[in-house]
Structure 1
Amino acid sequence: MKKAFQKMSLTIFLLSTTLVAACTQPLGAVESKQTATSAAPSIKGPLDAKEVEAFADPLFADKMKKFNVNGSSFVVVRDGKVIINKGYGFADKEKNIPVDKDTVFQIASVTKTFTALAVMQQVDEGKMDLHHNVEEYLGGLKVPNTTGKPLTLYDMLTYTSGVDLPDITTFIGPEYIGQDISMEEFLPKHMPTVIRPPGEAYTYDNFGFLLAGYAVEKVSGMPFAQYMDEKVFKPLGMNSSSVRFKPELLKRMAAHYGPTGEPHPTFGHAPTDGPQGSILSTGEDMAKYMIMQLQNGQFEGKEIVSKKSMDLMHAYQIFVEKDIPIATVGFETYFNELANGQHVVLKGGNMPGHSSLMVLIPEQKTAFFMSYNNDSMMSVDIYQEFMDHYFPEKEKAEPAYLPLSEKNAQKYIGMYQNTRALAIRTSFVYENGSLVLEDEINGKQKLRMIHPLLFVDEEGNKIAFKEDKAGNITYFYYSTQKGVGVVAHSQKMNQKQSFSDVPNASSYKNYINNLSALSIMSAKTGNQFDPTGTMTQGEFTDALIKAHGWSVFPGQADGIRQQMVAGIPNLNPSAPITRQVAAVMIQNLKQLQPIATSKVKLQDTADAWAAEAITALVSQGIVDPDTKVNADGSFTFRAKDLLKRQEASALLDLAFGYYSLPIKH
């Protein structure tokens, strides 16, 4: 199977079943809190259709224009009733078809809540136990596990499975719409390994929900799509919902568009039944689903799932810090600061060209759902405005901050790597009496300590650390809306034993150690790094893909390889790599522009296809220690010399590490 996409979407990576391509640039921040676009806030929640329309109509007009959205659904329920179920704009702009309550959207990862519901139904029937080894329910399928701790359904449904490649099963593309690929056929060929003790760390996980759906299929004896039809959709009267594409639903499906308004093809899944993200539904059907959720599993006199099971789906199960919940059984709680102190559980979902968000406020018997036809972050703006309007936050006192000594800061210091988005790397150091965070997205952030496991940055975003039983810091979670770091805990990368042939005084030592800790470049032989040895083009390419860090989805490495070699003549993987070839490969992925105020001037002879890339990197400070830039900006790059391993370590660490270089894209 192949991957059929090559673009990156922040929304998709944050909220959904898929990340669509390699991220080669820092991702922008979600817009900060704004004033609601409608009347003064209410503390009573949504009241009636007229009042909600007065709030929603100008809000959607504004946000759809801002995010270039052609059409959106919006449904609000409260106390068992539909307050509003309305469409805005066009399901198909070219055909002038408006969105209405029956417009079909791909709800993508909102599907995960249905999969969790199906598991809980099996638990209610006594056929499954959330805390047993999941292999009991897989019909003989084994999950590789190096931890010694069994993987359970509870771990999977709370996004704490501990697998190394949580997106290894994410195959999407137009070609999958007409195919029929079973989970039984698919899963044995695409299996990650459990490398962290299950339950230890939060990592957004597509594989876990796919495997949970497969467990439902094996235990119930029904194909997953049939199970959902008979046990969920029909009892709820969700007549326009399906795990699979059906002709009558495709006829009513909203067209797909990219963020800039260009038409986008419809993507399907492999396997065909996608418990992690393949459901199609409408505003009309999702209203019924939310009413059932808010009525403790009851709908029109029928028990869809027990109250005990529904409580597990709504109660916070996983916390990154005692006051920062992150997951329930099936739902999530990201962007907690937007909840305004309410108990909120939510789930977002994206396929290329469609986005959805479901927000439940169980204690207020209130929920809303929306789907729209592009990949933007409009749903987060709508969520923020909804909460500010109906459930405004009471003023909170500024916390008291504690001092942090240099001695006590030592346990935090080091490099961390995101457990899902491997390209997100963060450094913590102690400077001038404060712990300082540094990464490419946020730059340098001076932190203040609320208590020893909770800090806040200069912009008010929280950083929660996690320690093991011995008191060692093992992970941190950063609740900023910038970038994609919120998709997982970041794990502390312990420095490995120093190489015997890299002197402590070497200007390359830190670069070499960083790449070793991340398993990007390791020893050449034994405990020797061979710092002045050369590399082949193939060896550098492999290291560059690891340093780049975005090849977390099936087939992504192929696209990254094609991108990195563009414009380089006479490539030969077995040939030694020159410094100019390495520079162009890095620049092909970074796409940096020379800083306008930088006057760097290349003095030696580089080939025409390489000179611009070299200048761009050097102007950004991506340069090895032995390349000196003179006061007048002139420098000699030794462009046609062979690249040494220590030079490669410096260039890769500076280009793709955590440093806040003056990067201009």
Structure 2
Amino acid sequence: MHKMTRNLSLATLLLSSTIFTACSAQDPTTTPNNAVSQPTTKVSAKGPQDSKEIEAFIDPVFAEKMKKYNVNGSNFVVVKDGKVLVNKGYGYADKEKKTLVDKDTVFQIASVSKTFTALAALQLAEKGKIDLKHDITEYLGGMKVPNKTNKPLTMYDMLTYTAGFDYPDKSLITGPEYVNQVIPMKEFMTEHMPTVVRTPGEAYTYDNFAFLLAGYAVETVSGIPFPQYMEKNVFKPLGMNSTNSRFTPELLARMATHYGADGAPHPAIGVAPTDGPQGSILSTGEDMAKYLIMFQQQGTFDGKEIVSKKTIEQMQTYSVFADKSIPMTTVGGFEGYRNDLMNGHHVVLKGGNMPGHQSLVVLLPEKNTAFYMSYNNDTMMSLEVLEAFMNHYFPDERTSKKSTYIPLSASDATKYVGSYQNTRFYALKSNFTYADGNLLMETGTSGKHTLKMVNSLLFEDESGNKLAFKKDHKDQIEYFYYTNPNSLDFGSDSRKVHAKPAFADVPNDSIYKTYIDNLHSFDVISAKSGNLFEPRGTMTQGEFMDVALLANGWHIFNDTLADNKAMIESGVPGFDRNAPITRQIAAVMIQILKQAKPATDIKLTGDTDSWAVDAITALVSQGIIDPDTKVKADGSVDFRSKQPLLRQEASALLDLAFGYYALPIKNK
């Protein structure tokens, strides 16, 4: 479960590398609680075997990573061959009260909850109550799911992140106010129902709503509320007595304090709906160890069968691939992102993020090894722990192979070139062009890349990162998946953006046509009436704010949309939705969302209010400027700040600010 925070991009949230150094050697934050490290022993070729050796290896890892990421407290569990080798805490559950993390400290495991929801759905499938390949509406008690495709949505699609919803994060609503509220699933979903717009099974999109809907199907088919089903059929049989899908007074009393990346504490975060199959479960190291044991014992625990061996295999076996070399998801909520950290081994993992809490489960089925960790901030420390663990116990033993490439002709390149938009992160756009036998790619968080063709659907960039194109049900190139760890593209597939019919009143030779057409194709701005765009028409402040939020792309997250609206309304002096918008107000709105950094010295001439100067100069210096506004050789420019903003000018500014991929943009 991922939540955006104000003024923090998702790139920063997922790829943060904050450095923290203010800890002494005796601080529990840097040493294990109630444990002393032992000298390192020889590592077995079979992976972790000895508790003391594991601790001697992992203690310094946590010391380093917790300092680096400013983490106050974490737990860590290692299970091998059905036995717990390590279950310990590091640092503080509550730094202010000096409460240490231990095996009974409660954390919100967030999206790790999805694997439990999948387990419940697969239990019902074993009993013949759910057919994974049948229309999901059969199991929803009359609830309808809007579907614009010709293929029914199934439980299988939802459990493999291939449901095809347009807004997969509509169920992503979190906040302190939800800790003590009870919001039923049916009521919530009826109000926040997205639409299936991609053929189910066709594209991978990380999907919170799909797992919420899967949990509702569990509730409907079983005839008992979701939390009661989980308690009766999953938690209690596993002896997970400190695990629940909702807050209880007892669990709240033992829950680790939530901290931001800056180390400041903040209130516990609740979810809506209250019982969130997509991410509301709370648990402990002690309980999660039992969950891992069940996987290693082929679905049984303490002599009881929780699910069959076949189901356990299904949950740990990849069924969706971007390419045969790029595993994506299992039928069970587990994923294969950051395949570069797996060293060629069969690994399935599931991470979870809640503001102030982060979790990770890692399973190596063929090695009968697993680990779990949670900690009390929402940085990505867990991936560096995973990397250290894999390099230590399961290094890459593959023989390095040099890729061979096939020249790409200009005619063949036409099926790949064009613009694409990420199917989850609408703010992430990519563009492909052709030159000299290769594809050239520009993408939002990692810039420009040269892609060489390995085969007709697989390419590699200059660093060896793989990019796989995918075909749709019409056998046309429609999607791509990119493994670059420095990009956000690995979060979901991206889909090709197709041009829409041109507006009748925008001439082909208009210097604004490309910008207008681009925004139209991304569904950001549409006709004013009929097929007329009215390029020289004006806009109100409210109209421009609405299209700016769409162009920005983070409107897909409810919390972020509310935050961005509030920032715009408070950042524009005298904001009035119905008042005409001027060019300087538009610049301020864009800069609030873009946060562009000044790149060159700009000297504003003409009349500009003082509150707009910084925004305008920052945008102009980065090349975010309409084509009728010229920057002179000495860096001076008249932005015509107090003139009304025309619709064609709005299109240029928004397309340059949010549709392009690398700044600064060179002015032609």
TM tier, smaller: over 0.9
Matched-pair contact (CA < 8 Å) for 1:563–1:588: yes
The code of the aligned residue for 1:287 comes to A
Question: For 2:590, what is the secondary structure of its paired residue?
Answer: helix
**1:333, 1:364 → 2: CA distance?**
17
What is the Cα deviation at residue 300 of structure 1? Answer: 2.1
Indicate the residue corresponding to 2:213 in structure 1.
211
The equivalences for 1:595-610 within 5 A come to: 595=599, 598-610=600-612
Paired with 2:595 and 2:7, the residues of 1 have a C-alpha distance of: 13
Q: Distance in 2 between matches of 1:20 and 1:577?
A: 28
Aligned-partner Cα distance in 1 for 2:43–2:569: 54
Tell me the amino acid that sits aligned with residue 246 of structure 2.
Answer: R
Q: Does the C-alpha gap of structure 1 residues 292 and 332 become closer, same or farther in structure 2, counting only changes over 3 Å?
A: same
Cα deviation 1:359-396 (Å, max 9, x = unaligned): 00000000000010100100000011111111101242
Residue 415 of structure 2 aligns with an amino acid whose one-letter code is K
Task: Name the SS for the 1:83 alignment partner.
Answer: strand
Q: Is the 8 A contact 1:321 1:454 kept in 2?
A: yes
Q: How many Å separate the matches in 1 of 2:473 and 2:197?
A: 18
Structure 2 equivalent of residue 280 of structure 1: 282
Alignment of 1:65-214 (within 5 A): 65-214=67-216
2:365 matched to which residue of 1?
A: 362
Gaps of 5+ in 1: 1-15
Equivalents in 1 of 2:127, 2:184: separation in Å?
A: 25
Aligned length: 642
Aligned partner of 1:373: which letter?
N
Inter-CA distance 26–100: structure 2 relative to 1 (3 Å threshold): closer
2:542 is equivalent to residue 509 of structure 1: no
- Of 391, 395, 406, the residue aligned with 1:388 is 391
Shift of 1:445: 0.9
Higher relative contact order (CA 8 A, sep 6+): 1
Q: Residue 22 of structure 2 corresponds to which residue in structure 1?
A: none
Q: What is the distance in 2 between the residues matched to 1:112 and 1:440? A: 28
Which letter does structure 2 place at the counterpart of 1:107? I
- SS at structure 1 position matched to 2:114: helix
When structure 1 is superposed on structure 2, of 42-51 and 285-294 the one drifting more is: 42-51
CA distance in 2, matches of 1:375, 1:523: 42
Contact 1:523–1:529 (CA under 8 A) maintained in structure 2: yes
- Which residue of 519, 537, 559 maps to 2:541? 537
Where does residue 340 of structure 1 map in the other structure? 343
Deviates more, 1:491-500 or 1:570-579: 570-579
With over 3 angstroms needed to count, the CA separation of the structure-2 counterparts of 1:84 and 1:61, relative to structure 1, is: same
Alignment of 1:420-569 (within 5 A): 420-569=424-573
Secondary structure of residue in 2 paired with 1:57: helix
SS across alignment from 1:350:
strand
Per-residue deviation, residues 493-515 of structure 1 (Å, max 9, x unmatched)? 00112223323322222211110
Matching residue's letter, 1:416:
Y
- Residue in 1 that maps onto 2:264: 262
Change (3 A) 1:523 1:42: farther
2:258 matches 1:253: no
Q: Give the corresponding residue for 2:382.
A: 379
Between 38-47 and 511-520, the greater mean CA deviation after superposition: 38-47
> Cα offset for 1:525?
2.7
**TM-score when normalising by structure 2:** 0.93
Residue 651 of structure 1 corresponds to: 653
CA change 1:155–1:470 in 2 (3 A) is closer
Match of 2:21 in 1: none
Contact 1:77–1:290 (CA<8 Å) still a contact in 2?
yes
- Separation of aligned partners in 2, 1:477 and 1:410: 18
Q: 2:405 aligns with which of 386, 392, 401?
A: 401
User: How many Å separate the matches in 2 of 1:267 and 1:168?
Assistant: 17
| Mapped contact 1:27–1:482 kept (Cα < 8 A) | no
In 1, Cα distance between the equivalents of 2:173 and 2:372? Answer: 26
Letter in 1 for 2:654: L
Deviation at residue 471 of structure 1 after TM alignment: 4.1
Query: 1:567-578 counterparts in 2 under 5 A?
Result: 567-578=571-582
CA distances 1:488-536 after superposition (whole Å, capped 9, x unpaired)? 1111000112223323322222211110110111222333322222222
- 1:612 is matched with which residue: 590, 614, 617? 614
Instruction: Return the alpha-carbon distance in structure 2 between the equivalents of residues 633 and 26 of structure 1.
Output: 32
The 3-state SS of whatever aligns with 1:276 is coil
AA aligned to 2:365 is P
Q: Shift of residue 111 of structure 1?
A: 0.6
Deviations 1:543-596 (A, max 9, x none): 10100110112253332122124343333322322111111111121222312x
Which residue number in structure 2 is paired with residue 6 of structure 1? none
> SS where residue 361 of structure 2 aligns?
strand
Would the alpha carbon gap of residues 294 and 19 (structure 1) be closer, same or farther in structure 2, given more than 3 Å must change? farther
Bigger shift: residues 72-81 or 450-459: 450-459
Partner of 1:558, secondary structure, is: helix
Contact 2:245 2:275 in 1 (8 A): yes
CA separation of 1:437 and 1:213: change in aligned 2, threshold 3 A: same
Q: Secondary structure at the match of 2:70?
A: coil
Distance 1:392 1:569, change over 3 A: same
- TM normalised by structure 1 equals 0.93
1:462-499, CA deviations, whole angstroms, 9 ceiling, x for partnerless residues? 11111235542101111122243222111100011222
Change (3 A) 1:565 1:297: same
Counterpart residue identity of residue 259, structure 1 = A
In the alignment, the residues of structure 1 paired with residue 8 and residue 148 of structure 2 have an alpha-carbon distance, to the nearest angstrom, of 30
After superposition, the Cα gap between the structure-2 partners of 1:619 and 1:28, relative to the gap in structure 1 and judged at 3 Å, is farther
1:202 corresponds to which letter in structure 2?
A: Y
Relative distance call for 1:568 and 1:177 in structure 2 (3 A) is closer
CA contact (8 A) 2:14 2:380 kept: no
Q: Does the CA-based 8 Å contact 1:283-1:369 persist in structure 2?
A: yes
Shift of 1:453: 0.9
SS of residue in 1 equivalent to 2:379: coil
SS of residue matched to 2:406: coil
Counterpart position of 2:300:
298
Contact residue 4 and residue 559 of structure 2 kept, 8 A: no
